[in-house]
Every structure is written in C-alpha cells, then in structure tokens.
C-alpha cells in the first residue's frame, strides 16, 4: 500500500519537476541570451543575500508541521505568527543591507534588484501555513496543480518583463506576482484559517524542536552557496553568472531527481518510522531508484554536454562545458547522498544531518579560496566536488547506526 502511494506520489512529483525544469530551462535560455552572464550574475548575487537572511531565520516550521501526528491545529496559529514575524524581519534585513551589498559586490545594479526582492519575504510571511496539508496528507494531485500554476505564473511574467526591460529586475517581478497568487490562494481555498497567536510555551517548543533543522538549514545554505559567494567576491559578477549557469545545467536533472524523491519520501518515512522493517525496505528501494536514475542521467549529460550548450545557449557559452562536466559528478553524488536527509528527518535525527553538512562545509571552506586563486572557476567546481565526496564515509556510519544496526 505504501509503495503504491509512493509510486503515485513519484508520478505527480516527477511530472511537476519536469514541468518546472522545462520552464526553468526555457527561462535560463531566454535570460542567458537577453541578460548575458553579467545580468544573471546580478540576479544571482542578489538572490544569495535574500536566501542568506531567509535561511538564518528559518525555525524549521515546515518540517515540524510535517512531523506533527495530531493534525495541524495544535501549532498552526503559532506557525502563522512566526511566519509573519520572519517575513518582516527578512524584508527589513534585505532593505538595510542594500548599501553594504552594493560595496561588497561592487555593483549598483544589485541595489535595485535587492529593493524589489525585499518585497517577496514580506508577502510570503502572510501565506496560510496550512497550505502544507496537500503534501502532508499525500494529496499530490492537488499539490501538483497548485505548484504548476504558480510556476507558470512566475515563468510567464518574468519572461515578459525581462524581454521588454532587458534587466534582471524582470525576474524578480515574476517572483513577486507568483507570491501574490500563492498568498491569495492559501486564504481562499485552504483551511484551517490560522490567526495570530503568541503562545510562549508553544514558541519555546518550536524553537527547541526546530533548532537542529535551523542549524542544518544554515549549514546547507553555506555549503551550497559559499562557492557562489567566493566567486562573486574574488572573480566578479560576470564569472558568477557563468558559474551559476554551469551549475544549473549540470544539476538541473540529476540533483532534481534526489529532490523529487526527497519531497515524496519524507511523509512516507514519517508514516512508517515506528516500523523498522517497513522503514528499511522503503529506504533501500528509494536509494536504489535514485542511484540508478542519477547515474544514467549524469552519464548522458556528460556525453552530450557540448551539444546541449550549443543548441540551447549558443556558441558563445561553450566556455562552460568543462565546468559542467566537473559539476555533473557533484550532482550525481549529491543526489544519491542527499536522499538520506528525509530519512533522518523522519526519525527526528536532524542533528546527524547537521554534522554531515558541517563536515562537508569545513572542507569546502578550506579548499575553495586557494583553489579559486589557482584555478579560477574550475577551482570552485572542484572544491564543491571534493567536499561532497568527503561526506560519504560519515553518511555510511550514521546509516549503519540507525538503520542497519
């Protein structure tokens, strides 16, 4: 029964991810041709800062709502209150940081994009947290329709704005409009309707239970973005645009495979977490699926990287092919190793995920500056690859401890 629901969930998640990635690829092609590396670099640098503040203020409410076995009502009001406060804080921090970011990235264009981006967290703070119920209760058909609609709105408006204005601000406008639609939908069609409630006891409970999720999110952000930060600071926004485009192409299919399984497997794992035999069987099957698919997709992309770049981005982007071939290996390994994250979340072992992330981050920090100075963009790519390879033995140790004991 659970495997059947898993397959059904995978069906919807795969279709949704394919839809998202096709639209994402279309946007990348259009943005790369209209904005060039520098325009993509400006948006990428601005997004780094917004994601930084969002990550450091995330209290893990999403995972706690997924783990909640007594429905949503117990902490829904508190989750909504935290969401509003967090959205206001993030927007304020982005706004305050604008002068400093202009100096750090050495770009006036970043200032304009950041001012627009500061609107998004404020809007999202008012989204009804109960919108998670589609995913929590495995209603993946409804989740598919909602997410597909929002992505379509984002893609359509961002392409229109970028086409007419030839500026990275157009990408942000699409995100703002999509956030407005999600906010309206969550209040019109989703129940229960939360209210603002500041319960100190529940707040302490959320902070206590979510602290490892928060710390893991911070480490995850640093682990996946510190290379972008170093590239933008020491090589410039033009090289950041080149590097991020290479990263997206190399991981757009491979890494997303792990993401699909990860989003689907968390609620499945949570339902069988008390039954060791079922949990072990489901985990092994999911891990096997991810490994096979990642290797097949990675090998195909590696062989046809040059042709793919020429067809979709043009001859002038062939410079990114060597970077893509390095990052493909990162994508495959990360897709496979990342599949253990929802498993540890389901058994409330967030601390172990944080430890693994910290190990990879420490190595990345040690390697990235000297490798960038010596090898440029290739040094950044190799530092990410080496860091994910280094985490494999530690993941095996924790799996052996909690699953294969």
Do residues 167 and 25 touch, judged by C-beta distance below 8 A? Answer: no
Return the top range by mean pLDDT from 48-52, 158-162, 313-317. Answer: 158-162
Query: Which residues, in sequence order, are CB contacts of 49 under 8 Å at separation 6+?
Result: 94, 97, 101, 114, 117
- What confidence score (pLDDT) does residue 315 get? 87
CA 265, 275, 336, 49 dihedral sign is: positive
Domain count, the chain: 1
- What confidence score (pLDDT) does residue 133 get? 78
- What confidence score (pLDDT) does residue 303 get? 93
For residues 330-354, average pLDDT: 81
Statement: residue 352 has pLDDT above 70: yes
Enclosing domain of residue 133: 2-402
Lowest mean pLDDT among 6-15, 75-84, 152-161, 174-183: 6-15
Lowest mean pLDDT among 61-75, 152-166, 288-302: 61-75
Lowest mean pLDDT among 154-163, 337-346, 365-374, 376-385: 337-346
- What confidence score (pLDDT) does residue 66 get? 66
Percent of the chain topping pLDDT 70 = 84
pLDDT digit string, tens, across residues 185-201 = 999 988 888 888 776 76
Lowest mean pLDDT among 43-52, 106-115, 343-352: 343-352
Specify the higher pLDDT residue, 277 or 226: 226
Query: What tokens were used for 278?
Result: 């079922």
pLDDT digit string, tens, across residues 229-267 = 999 989 999 999 999 999 988 887 676 666 666 666 777
- What confidence score (pLDDT) does residue 314 get? 84
Specify the higher pLDDT residue, 355 or 69: 355
Do residues 326 and 378 touch, judged by C-beta distance below 8 A? Answer: yes
For residues 30-40, average pLDDT: 92
Statement: residue 405 has pLDDT above 70: no
Residue 381 CA to residue 358 CA, distance in Å, equals 19
For residues 291-302, average pLDDT: 89
Please give the biggest Cα pair distance in the chain.
60
């Amino acid at each position: 029964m659970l495997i059947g629901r898993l397959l059904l969930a995978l069906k919807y998640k795969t279709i949704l991810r394919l839809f998202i990635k096709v639209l994402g690829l279309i946007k990348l092609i259009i943005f790369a041709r209209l904005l060039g590396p520098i325009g993509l670099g400006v948006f990428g640098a601005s997004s780094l800062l917004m994601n930084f503040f969002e990550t450091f203020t995330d209290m893990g409410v999403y995972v706690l709502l997924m783990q909640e076995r007594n429905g949503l009502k117990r902490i829904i009001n508190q989750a909504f209150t935290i969401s509003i406060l967090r959205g206001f804080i993030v927007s304020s921090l982005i706004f305050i940081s604008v002068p400093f970011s202009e100096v750090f990235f050495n770009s006036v264009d970043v200032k304009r994009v950041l001012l627009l981006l500061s609107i998004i967290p404020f809007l999202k703070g008012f989204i009804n947290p109960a919108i998670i119920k589609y995913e929590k209760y495995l209603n993946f058909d409804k989740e598919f329709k909602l997410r597909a609609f929002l992505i379509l709105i984002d893609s359509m408006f961002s392409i229109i704005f970028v086409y007419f204005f030839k500026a990275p601000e157009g990408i942000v406008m699409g995100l703002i409009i999509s956030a407005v639609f999600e906010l309206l939908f969550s209040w019109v069609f989703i129940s229960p309707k939360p209210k603002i409630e500041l319960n100190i006891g529940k707040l302490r409970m959320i902070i206590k239970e979510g602290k490892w999720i928060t710390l893991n999110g911070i480490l995850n952000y640093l682990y996946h973005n510190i290379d972008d930060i170093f590239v933008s600071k020491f090589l410039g926004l033009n090289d950041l645009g080149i590097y991020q485009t290479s990263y997206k192409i190399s991981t757009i299919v491979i890494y997303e495979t792990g993401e699909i399984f990860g989003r689907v497997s968390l609620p499945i794992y949570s339902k069988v977490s008390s039954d060791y035999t079922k949990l072990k069987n489901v985990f092994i099957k999911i891990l096997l699926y991810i490994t096979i698919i990642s290797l097949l997709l990675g090998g195909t992309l590696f062989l046809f990287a040059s042709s793919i770049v020429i067809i979709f981005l043009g001859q002038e982007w062939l410079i990114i092919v060597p970077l893509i071939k390095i990052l493909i290996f990162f994508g495959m390994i990360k897709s496979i190793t990342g599949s253990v994250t929802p498993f540890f979340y389901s058994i409330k072992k967030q601390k172990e995920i944080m430890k693994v992330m910290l190990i990879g981050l420490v190595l990345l920090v040690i390697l990235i500056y000297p490798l960038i100075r010596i090898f440029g963009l290739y040094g950044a790519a190799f530092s990410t690859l080496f860091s994910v390879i280094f985490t494999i033995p530690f993941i095996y140790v924790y799996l052996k401890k909690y699953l294969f004991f």
